[in-house]
Amino acid sequence: MGRAMLIICSGVLIAMGFMSIASINQGKMLTQKTATYADYTMAKNAAHTAIQMAMQEINKDEENRGESDYWPKRFYSEQQSWSPEPINGRNVILYMEYEEEADYWEPERLRMISIAEHEDIKVEVVSQYMMSPFSTLVPEFEGAVALPGGFNSFNADGNAHSLSGKAPEGSDCEDKPAVVVRSEEDKNKLPGNLNTEGGSEDGIGVNPDLSYEPTDELIERLWNSGNATSVTSDFSESLGSPENPGIFFIDEETVRLSGGQSEGYGILVIRSGGYMEYEGGLDIRGNFEFNGLVIFENAFDFDGRGTPTINGSVLIGNTEGYDGTINVDLGGNIHLQYDCEAEQYAQMATASAVAQNQYKRVVTTENTNYTVFE
């Protein structure tokens, strides 16, 4: 028994010794892995920080956009990279793949590759950005007429007026309602003699999500852009073309368009400013056709004495805090035709009027390489 007990005890001690050695080795490995992970985290953070620093440099160099020395164009490869001061003791290089917008519909794209290295660890962070043009603020065309702010009354007396949400023949548009309101209550305010077609049996659509925001922001930024044209009572210049649509504001009490303006393209805003005591008016005489978006902001008086046609959409709304009454009067022989393709004229006009300089990150990926301790 004594000898057997000694053998058993010896075996236990030997086993415990092996376990102790294993525990020590495991502890060393955990410590090494923890240190490696900490180094990796520091390197990753340094790579991300370099991207943020690069974006600041790009924003500061906005005036050179489109030029050959524009900041994103200077650092185009790993051999021709940008190197800031070490970040948290980590050396970082960064280069970019930059693609300018080809036209109105191709957004500017930017791909940043940031590489941080420290001892045995190398982290590569890739962030892709896209610059959405300002034209994204143009409200989606809901129909021939949209009333996102509600209204007190709606009059459409006339001889041959019509409101159509049916897709124009030969277009790629889908049928939309002729008139879109935000509630059944507003729908019940519409007169029964409306000559409407498209979208539904009665041509009327109800969308509870209909809102005047961010159209109010769109208008303010267009107004302050310095690239909008103020249309006065004696205005006789062009109202845009398919190749060069424009932004036009009517902010006098009454403006008459006739003869010299047979057509227009882009965005036409009839507004009543907050400090102005009048309501905007537009008197159209003769055969006039506007292609794009017509916005009535805090204004309603649209007198179509000739046979005017609006291809696109008419938006009637009010800004927050406006305490006036919106009474919609679409008198005269007017034809409002929904046209999704005319939405492009509105987008082109806003993209030309307001330069957008904010990139939006699309996706970020990380590639990590490091030597495993033996």
Whether 229 has a pLDDT exceeding 50, the answer reads yes
The first and second tokens of residue 19, run together, are 């376990």
Record the tokens describing residue 24, joined without a space: 């020590």
Q: What is the model's pTM?
A: 0.65
- Per CATH, the architecture of 2-132+357-370 is what? 2-Layer Sandwich (3.30)
- 115-172 tens-digit pLDDT: 998 877 889 999 988 876 677 778 899 999 999 987 888 877 655 458 899 999 888 8
Q: Which of 18-27, 74-83, 324-333 has the lowest mean pLDDT?
A: 18-27
Q: Determine contact, residues 248/241, Cβ cutoff 8 Å.
A: no
CA 369, CA 222: separation in Å to the nearest integer?
49
Instruction: Find, among 368, 271, 266, 256, the residue nearest to 316 by Cα.
Output: 271
The tokens of 74 are what? 């200077």
Look up tokens 């006036």; give the residue: 324
Q: Which two tokens stand for residue 345?
A: 């004229």
Domain ranges, ordered by start, for the chain: 2-132+357-370, 136-353
Stretch 301-308: mean pLDDT: 65
pLDDT at 5 over 80: no
Predicted confidence band of residue 279 (pLDDT cuts 50, 70, 90): very low
- Whether residue 348 contacts residue 104, with contact meaning beta carbons closer than 8 Å, is answered with yes
Could you give the CA distance from residue 328 to residue 168 in angstroms, rounded to a whole number? 25
CA 214, distance to chain mean position in Å, is 10
Q: Partners of 250 in the beta sheet?
A: 270
pLDDT band (50, 70, 90) for residue 213: confident
- Rounded (5°) CA angle 78-84-85: 135
Nearest-angstrom CA–CA distance, 34 and 50: 24
More confident residue, 337 or 28: 337
Measured between alpha carbons, how far is 77 from 74 in angstroms, rounded to an integer?
A: 9
Rounded to the nearest integer, the mean pLDDT of the chain is 78
Is 90 exceeded by the pLDDT of residue 265? yes
What pLDDT sits at residue 120? 77
Tally of CB atoms within 10 A around 139: 21
Does residue 252 have a pLDDT over 70? no
Which residue is it, tokens 């007026």?
161
Classify the C-alpha dihedral 72-76-80-81 as positive or negative: positive
Percent above pLDDT 90 for the chain: 28
Tokens of 354: 């307001």
